[in-house]
Structure formats: structure tokens, C-alpha cells
Amino acid sequence: MYSPASKYSGSISLLLSLMVPSCTPPSQSSGAPAAQLADVYWRLTQVDGTSVPPTVAGPREPHMRLVSDGGRLTGFTTCNSVFGRYELPGSDRVRFFQLGSTKMACVDAALMRRETRFMAALQSADRYAIAGETLTLFAQGKPVARFVAVR
């Protein structure tokens, strides 16, 4: 038997099926999302195979931040501020260039060596990987620096 309501029931069902997915929250994945590369404070935890002990949190701990707007790098080595540019030429590729730093005296020889290794790691990095909250920079397949995201 024909009823006027049955004429629209197929259209209403289709419309509802299209609307319902848009009503669900965008992120309902289990576990914490992996960190993104840019616009994250990355604290240095290892450079050239050597652990970097945590220091007082804040601008004086070795870290970097990749700013998505303009492809800029900012951070702190161990004695000096670091700055430069970066580009992402492929899905897991990275290149740092136009790197520079302030020239404050680094009286502790161990800190100076760590700073030199940190800068060398940035200059040689050609690939990156993010696993959870950990960023690893690689140069020719070898890990050269490891960072943890600080929220």
C-alpha cells in the first residue's frame, strides 16, 4: 500500500546516514596521539649516542622548536641559542640549513662538546622518525639525535 511518507523514507535514511558521521568527535582513537614534527617543544635527550641529562626546565635546557610558519628552527644548544631554517622534502625527510647560534662563552668543556655534537647532528640530519612522543634524527641511516616532546 502506498503512503505519502514512504515516498521520502529512502531520502531521509540517506540524509541521516550522511549526517551521523559528521556528529562524532574528530579524534576518538585509543591512546595518546603521536606528536607532530612542527610547533612542538623538543627537548634533547641523546646526541651522537650519548645521553643528555635533564636540566632545569625552561629556555636553558637543550631543545629545538620547528616553527611551521616560515620553516624556522629555534632552540638552545647548551650554552647558546640556535636558529636556522628547515624543510621537509619528503614524507620522512628533513633538512636543516642556514644554521647559526649566539656566541656566548661556554666555560664547561663537556657542555661545549655537547653543543658541538648537537649542531653537527642538525647539520647532518637527512631523515626523521616520530614514535609516540620521541623524535629521532638520522644521518645516512644512523641515529644522531633523540628528543622528547614536552607538553
The predicted-structure confidence for 40-49, as pLDDT tens digits, reads as follows 999 999 999 9
Residue 142: what are its φ and ψ, rounded to 5°? Answer: -105, 130
Closest CA to 125 of 94, 101, 100, 83: 94
Position 21 scores a pLDDT of 34
Tell me what pLDDT residue 151 has. Answer: 81
Q: What is the CATH number of domain 41-150?
A: 2.40.128.270
Helix (H) or strand (E) holding 148: strand 142-150
Q: Give 4's pLDDT tier (boundaries 50, 70, 90).
A: low
How much is the pLDDT for 15?
33
Check residues 88 and 4 and name the one with the higher pLDDT.
Answer: 88
Confidence bin at 34 (pLDDT 50/70/90): low
pLDDT at 129: 97
Q: Which pLDDT belongs to residue 145?
A: 98
* Segment 59-117, tens digit of pLDDT: 589 999 999 999 999 999 999 999 999 999 988 999 999 999 999 988 889 889 999 99
Place of cell 636543516: 96
- Whether pLDDT at 33 is above 70: no
* DSSP codes, 61-100: SSEEEEETTTTEEEEE-SSSEEEEEEEEEETTEEEEEEEE
Counting residues of the chain whose pLDDT is more than 70, the rounded percentage is 75
Containing 110, the helix (H) or strand (E) segment is helix 109-124
